[in-house]
Amino acid sequence: MLDKVKELITEVESFNATTANEIETFRIKYLGSKGIIKDLFTEFKNVPNEQKKEFGQTINLLKNSAENKVTTLKEVIENAVEEKGVYGDLTRPSEPIELGSRHPISLVKNQIIEVFNRIGFTVSEGPEIEDDWHNFTALNLPEYHPARDMQDTFFIEKNPDTLLRTHTSSVQVRYMEQNEPPIRTISPGRVFRNEDISARAHCIFHQVEGLYIDTDVSFADLKQTLLYFTKEMFGKSKIRLRPSYFPFTEPSAEVDIYWGLETETDYRITKGTGWLEIMGCGMVDPNVLKNCNIDPTKYSGYAFGMGIERIAMLLYQIPDIRMFYENDVRFLEQFKSVI
């Protein structure tokens, strides 16, 4: 009889169940009013006196094992039901996940950053709400300078010293104030100008401006950097630089790439010339270096700047700049990205 009880203990310990009904059947079988353990206690009176102690201990062990098994299996079932209620049916096939879309401005900005990162340019950022010094005066645009009219400005609460930055050149000023040459950085960011909104212009847009300052930096270095950029970004190897004017660079130039005249669109966007303006550039004016506590007799440098929207419109053949800001899902879904 004792051996039979020990076999029942082994059977109880090896038992497993996945449903509440199976657990209840097991409980009735061993712990019910007509169960196995009840019968064993009834049989206890027929056990010889010398075996009663061991037999009684073994039956109690069987009872405890059966009770613990029922409690443990019930907890497992209850936890599984609770988890299913929180997360749904975990065995159900998952729904396909729609691939998200990056905004074309972000795609182009990241591409520009990657191109310049490969030749050692770091990324610097600054505040969008600026003061007059960093946005104008330090950049060789003192008060009442006529060139300030080139950038219609949003002032904060009619305060002439607090404004929304009109270019990311203000970030370059801050970077020069906090770092010593050699300096090689690009400054992407959002800028603001009080302009009428049309298909070709907006009061909010994005720029990337670059700055390189070191000893013996020449205009030839600038041209080679721009040629590298146009090859990597557009696959175009022909550029030209036209004399221009910017208060913070001298000499200054506009950069054109030869886009070609292969399609009707090429004729339209280049006005039949094949040439397309993409950015402005020049050698950093010595006054700007002096304002940023950099010795212009020892150091020289170049700077360049471009509009991200303009680059994106060229790359993706987008006809209207306003499309970038309307949040039209049909437009944004065309720019699927895996990065």
**Domain boundaries in the chain?**
2-87, 104-125+182-332
Predicted model pTM: 0.69
Tens-digit pLDDT profile for residues 150-171: 668 888 877 778 999 999 999 9
Torsion sign across C-alpha atoms 37, 39, 43, 44: positive
pLDDT tens-digit readout, 236-249: 889 999 999 999 99
pLDDT in tens, 34-86: 788 777 777 767 777 777 777 677 777 878 888 888 888 888 877 765 555 55
Instruction: Provide the CATH number for the domain formed by 104-125+182-332 in this structure.
Output: 3.30.930.10
Q: Which whole number is the average pLDDT over 266-288? A: 91
